[in-house]
């Protein structure tokens, strides 16, 4: 999927929809660890991953951006270090000017007020005033992959982000994931509409039937939901 197709396919899908779709398709769910959140509420991010591992200097980001295509998401690996921030306003300005969709940081940012003014979606573990005071030797494959928590992210992945955090998924499955996520979204919206109209969730998912099937043959709730087209959990 190209950048414009990704934006169109995922613009009305949440990270929760995407995570559930990955489970439905039998694909790994690679979520950013809890605590990696956007700088402002309501941010939505989708784009191909542009990995970069940080060694203390902004040059690795500039090189990554130089190779980027509009709509990419800069995925920064700073090993979740708690002694420094690694992305500030200048890097965000550069990314925005190059047409990137946003920045996802496995670490900390600074210049929060400026970043909010730039309005490029930025996700991080939080803010930290101190920048790098080191310059480590850069590895040859610094732009080939980035660690994000326990996950290794490459250009073969794309990123979806919102108020719940980040999810990484394989780019070659982007269309199938979007289709499955849209089905889940639509079912959940119908269920929510019916709840507002007075139909309890237990009624909607035919909970009494599930209890009988569970006692009769060990049917799990997820098996029951799939059989009736429910989408509460995967």
User: Can you say which residues are annotated as belonging to the binding site for substrate?
Assistant: 88-91, 110
Q: Which residues belong to the annotated binding site?
A: 88-91, 110-111
Buried b (16+ CB within 10 A) or exposed e, 178-209: bebbbbbbebbeebeeeeeeeeeeeebbbeee
Q: Which residue ranges are tagged as binding site for Mg(2+)?
A: 111
Quickly list H helices, the chain: 3-10, 15-24, 59-67, 89-97, 112-118, 174-196, 201-204, 207-217, 221-228
The CA-atom distances, in angstroms, between 198 and each of 23, 211, 230 are 30, 22, 18
């Amino acid at each position: 999927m190209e950048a414009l197709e990704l934006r169109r396919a995922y613009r009305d899908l949440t990270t929760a929809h995407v995570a559930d779709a990955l489970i439905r398709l039998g694909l790994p769910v690679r979520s950013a660890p809890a605590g990696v959140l956007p700088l402002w509420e309501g941010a939505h991010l989708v784009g191909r991953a542009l990995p970069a591992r940080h060694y203390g200097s902004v040059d690795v980001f500039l090189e990554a951006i130089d190779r980027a295509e509009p709509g990419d998401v800069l995925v920064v690996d700073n090993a979740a270090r708690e002694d420094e921030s690694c992305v500030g306003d200048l890097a965000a300005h550069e990314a925005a000017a190059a047409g990137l969709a946003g920045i996802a940081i496995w670490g900390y940012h600074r210049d929060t007020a400026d970043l909010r003014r730039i309005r490029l979606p930025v996700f991080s573990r939080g803010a930290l005033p101190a920048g790098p005071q080191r310059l480590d030797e850069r590895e040859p494959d610094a732009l080939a992959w980035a660690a994000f928590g326990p996950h290794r992210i490459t250009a073969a992945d794309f990123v979806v982000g919102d108020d719940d955090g980040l999810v990484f998924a394989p780019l070659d499955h982007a269309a199938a994931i979007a289709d499955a996520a849209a089905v889940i979204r639509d079912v959940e919206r119908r269920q929510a509409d019916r709840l507002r109209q007075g139909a309890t969730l237990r009624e909607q998912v035919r909970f009494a039937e599930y209890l009988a099937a569970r006692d009769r043959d060990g049917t799990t709730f997820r098996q029951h939901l799939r059989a009736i087209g429910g989408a509460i959990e995967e």
